[in-house]
Amino acid sequence: MKNRIEWPTFVLIVTTYAIFALGLWGATYSMGLAVLLLTIAGVLHSSLSHEALHGHPTSSVFVNAVLVTPALTLFVPYLRFRDTHIAHHHDENLTDPYDDPETNFIDPAVWERWPLWRKAVQQWNNTLLGRMIVGPIIGQIVFMYSDAKAILNGNRRIALSWSIHTISVCAIFWFMFHVSNVTFSAYALASYFSLSILKIRTFLEHRAHDHAAARTVIIEDRGLLALFFLNNNFHSVHHAHPKLAWYDLPKIYQSNKDQYLARNEGYAYASYKDVFAEYFVKSKDPVPHPLWSKSNRRV
């Protein structure tokens, strides 16, 4: 499979940058239209970044990184996303408050020490509405605080990741302000909207469960959100076959549906409509990890 290229993914990357360019052009006529198009481009770019770190659309790690390094949503360096997400794919650590970089669960001992206002914010963040509104802020603060500490402690790889990211963001701003009338506030708003939409996907991807294979969800949605998320709503299939391309996930699931539902012990929803109906203003999980015993706490 040397020098392979997956054309559906490559064409979608080109299309995403075209939508981005169209959004910049659209600012001349309507800032609202610009925000809409830039939001769509940001969501697709993030989903494509996920594809790139898993080996798509080419067999070259370097080429895949170059294709998605322009940080359209501004906030997350691709190399940091790649490193943390690969660590997240150690399924035995899924939902671990310390060893899963993408978990939203907290060590109960840490939770007990938090002030009431922080607990209230985090509890709201565990509803879908809250996750979409404050989730991007909370996630970014925690992420950047952790990375800043690591850089101060001498982690050169993380420092390099942020340096490349900073150059990328500056290049985007230079290009944007030279070819478009889009304002900084409009672009920042579109970036935030993109992250908010992405929080819909990550909201219930994983649950606390004694069995690692049962921690990952299936959402049998084939609508617009599934397209924006590049079928990563078939998340249990993705974790079982992380190298599988986005366009293969639904058919692999359908061909072995009973097997995958048995594997994750029925952790499934019919659509994102059902997810919104059940959890829009209702918390799905407690913030402190419900299965985190005193014996494995690290305070």
Are the C-beta atoms of residues 10 and 59 closer than 8 Å to each other? no
Are the C-beta atoms of residues 252 and 241 closer than 8 Å to each other? yes
In a domain, 80, yes or no: yes
Tokens of 192: 């935030």
Amino acid identity for residue 38 in this structure: L
In a domain, 288, yes or no: no
Tokens of 187: 């672009």
Helix axis angle for 31-53 and 184-202, nearest 10°, is: 50
Amino acid identity for residue 1 in this structure: M
Are the C-beta atoms of residues 72 and 188 closer than 8 Å to each other? no
In a domain, 183, yes or no: yes
Closest CA to 217 of 230, 201, 205, 229: 205
Q: What are the residue ranges of helices labelled H in 134-289?
A: 135-152, 156-179, 184-202, 224-228, 235-240, 249-255, 257-263, 272-279
pTM above 0.85, yes or no: yes
Q: Model confidence over 138-170: pLDDT tens digits?
A: 999 999 999 999 999 999 999 999 999 999 999
For the chain, how many structural domains are there in total? 1
In a domain, 231, yes or no: no
The pLDDT value recorded for residue 4 is: 81
In the beta sheet, which residues pair with residue 269? Answer: 219
The pLDDT value recorded for residue 299 is: 40
In a domain, 234, yes or no: no
Say how many residues make up the chain: 299
Which residues of the chain are modeled with pLDDT < 50?
Answer: 1, 295, 298-299
Distances (CA, A) of 267 to 85, 219, 236, 270: 21, 9, 9, 11
Are the C-beta atoms of residues 162 and 151 closer than 8 Å to each other? yes
In a domain, 137, yes or no: yes
Domain housing 41 = 7-203
In a domain, 232, yes or no: no
> How distant is the alpha carbon of residue 278 from its chain centre?
21
How far apart (Å, rounded) are the C-alpha atoms in residues 129 and 134? 9
In a domain, 227, yes or no: no
Report DSSP state, residue 91.
G
Q: Please, what is the Cα angle at 190 between 135 and 249, to 5 degrees?
A: 70
| Helix (H) / strand (E) containing 200 | helix 184-202
Q: Model confidence over 18-31: pLDDT tens digits?
A: 999 999 999 999 99
The pLDDT value recorded for residue 177 is: 87
Distances (CA, A) of 170 to 140, 174, 175, 259: 19, 6, 9, 47
The pLDDT value recorded for residue 296 is: 59
Q: Please, what is the Cα angle at 190 between 206 and 26, to 5 degrees?
A: 140
